[in-house]
Amino acid sequence: MPDSPHPLMYRPLLEAALREDLGGLGDLTTDGVVEPAAVARAELVARSSGRIAGLGIALDVFTLVDPAVHRQLRLGDGADVRSGDVLATVAGPARAILTGERTSLNLLGHLSGIATATRRLVESIDGTGAVIADTRKTTPGMRALEKYAVRIGGGKNHRYGLADAVLIKDNHLAVAGGIRVAVERVRRHIGHTIKVEVEVDDLDQLAEALEVGVEAVLLDNMTPDEIRRAVEIVDGRVIVEASGGITLESAAAVAAAGVDVLSVGWITHSAPALDVALDMSA
C-alpha cells in the first residue's frame, strides 16, 4: 500500500477543521453534559461496504483534541470492508472523543469514498492495460489526502499542481493562438526534465500536436470510436490520455479503445462518502 502522507502535510488541515467546529465557545453540548473526568471507549464501524482510506489520519483528530486518547487500528488503509466491520477503537477522556467524533468521521468517510470509487473504476477496466488517474479537481486544502485516497483505491496521480508538468488546455490554446505557438513558447520557458501534454478536441489537433513534438496528448470528450482512431494515429509515439465525462459505465469502453490513461475528476470532487460511524460506550 502507498505510504500515508507525512503529518506535516495534513496536521494544519485537521487543526483548522477542529477550530472550525469548536468555534469561539467550544463544544457546548459535550462540556455541559459530560463530566471532565469521564472516560469512555468507542469503536469506529463501517455502515456500508467499501475500501478504507485515511483511517490513521482520521484517528489523529482525537489525539489532537487530547493526547490522552488511546487509539488502536483493527484494519489498515486499503482494507475492503463490509457493513458492521470494526475499523478501530479509541479510549480515554470522553469529552475528547465526543468533540472529535464528527471531524474524524467526516474525513474518514470522504477519503474512503474516494478510495471506493477509484477501486470500482480500476476494476471496471481490468485487463485493458490502461490506468485510472485523478485530476486537479480536488477540495481546496485537501489535495494531498484526496490523491492519497486515489492511490489507496488503486489509481494513479496526475500532476499535483501547476508546477509539476505542462498541460496545455483549450483556453491556453485560445489565448496563445494555436498548438504550435503554445508548445514552442512553453519549451522556451521550462527545463529539459518537464514533460509537455496538449489537450486536443479532434484528429486535426492531434496531428498538429504530434508534429510539433509533445510527450503526451489528452483526448477531450471523444467517443470510443474517435479514441480508437486517435490511438491508431499515435501508434505508440506518445502517452495517450482520455478525459471528459468518463463514468463507471463508460470507462471499460474508453479503456478498450487503447488509451494509456483515463483521467477522472469526479472520483475526488463527487465520490459519495463511505458511511462510517462511531459507537460509544462508557
pLDDT on residue 103: 98
Give the pLDDT confidence score for residue 214 in this predicted structure.
Answer: 97
DSSP 23: T
Phi, psi of 85 (to 5 degrees): -70, 135
Residues 261 and 276 in one domain: no
Residues whose CB is less than 8 angstroms from the CB of residue 2 and which lie 6 or more positions away in sequence, other chains included: 148, 151, 152
Instruction: Count Cα atoms within 13 angstroms, Cβ side, for 93.
Output: 17
b/e sequence 9-27, b meaning 16+ C-beta within 10 Å: ebeebbeebbeebeeeeeb
CA distance 42 to 238: 52
Do 145 and 221 fall within a single domain? yes
Q: Is position 2 within any domain?
A: no
Verify that 110 and 137 share a domain, yes or no: no
Give the C-alpha separation, 227 to 231, whole Å.
Answer: 6
pLDDT in tens, the chain (282 residues): 788 899 999 999 999 999 999 998 999 999 999 999 999 999 999 999 999 999 999 999 999 999 999 999 999 999 999 999 999 999 999 999 999 999 999 999 999 999 999 999 999 999 999 999 999 999 999 999 999 999 999 999 999 999 999 999 999 999 999 999 999 999 999 999 999 999 999 999 999 999 999 999 999 999 999 999 999 999 999 999 999 999 999 999 999 999 999 999 999 999 999 999 999 987
| The pLDDT value given to residue 282 | 72
Same domain, 100 and 190: no
Q: What CATH code is carried by the domain that includes residue 23?
A: 3.90.1170.20
Place of cell 462508557: 282
156 and 76 share one domain: no
Diameter of the chain by CA atoms? 72
What pLDDT does residue 66 have?
98
What amino acid is encoded at 131 in this protein?
A: V
**258 with 142, same domain?**
yes
Counted domains in the chain: 2
Q: Report pTM.
A: 0.96
- What is the full DSSP assignment across 26-71? --HHHHHHS-TT-EEEEEEEESS-EE--SHHHHHHHHHHH-TT-EE
Q: Please spell the DSSP secondary structure of 151-207, one letter per residue.
A: HHTT-B---SSTTT-EEE-HHHHHHHTSHHHHHHHHHHHS-TT--EEEEESSHHHHH
CA dist., res. 189 & res. 20, Å (int): 41
Taking the C-alpha atoms of residue 276 and residue 110, their distance in angstroms, rounded to an integer, is 10
Whether 16 and 112 map to the same domain: the answer is yes
Q: Is 135 left (phi over 0), alpha (psi -120 to 50) or beta?
A: beta
Tell whether 147 is covered by a domain.
yes
Give me the CATH number covering residue 179.
3.20.20.70
175 and 247 together in one domain: yes
The answer to the question of residue 76 being in a domain is yes
Q: Is residue 193 part of a domain?
A: yes
In a domain, 84, yes or no: yes
Could you tell me if 53 and 133 lie in one domain? no
Q: What is the pLDDT of residue 44?
A: 98
Same domain? For 16 and 67 the reply is: yes
CA distance 46 to 184: 52
Asked whether the beta carbons of 244 and 225 are under 8 A apart, the reply is no
Residue 149 forms part of a structural domain:
yes
Say whether both 68 and 51 belong to one domain.
yes
- Whether 129 maps to a domain, the answer reads yes
pLDDT at 4: 87
Residues annotated as catalytic are: 102, 137, 169, 199, 220
H or E element, residue 93:
strand 86-93
Is residue 243, in this structure, part of any structural domain at all? Answer: yes
Give the C-alpha separation, 43 to 278, whole Å.
Answer: 6
Whether residue 245 sits in one domain with residue 136: yes
Residues spanned by the domain of 57: 7-122+271-281
Q: Around Cβ 60, how many Cβ atoms within 10 Å?
A: 18
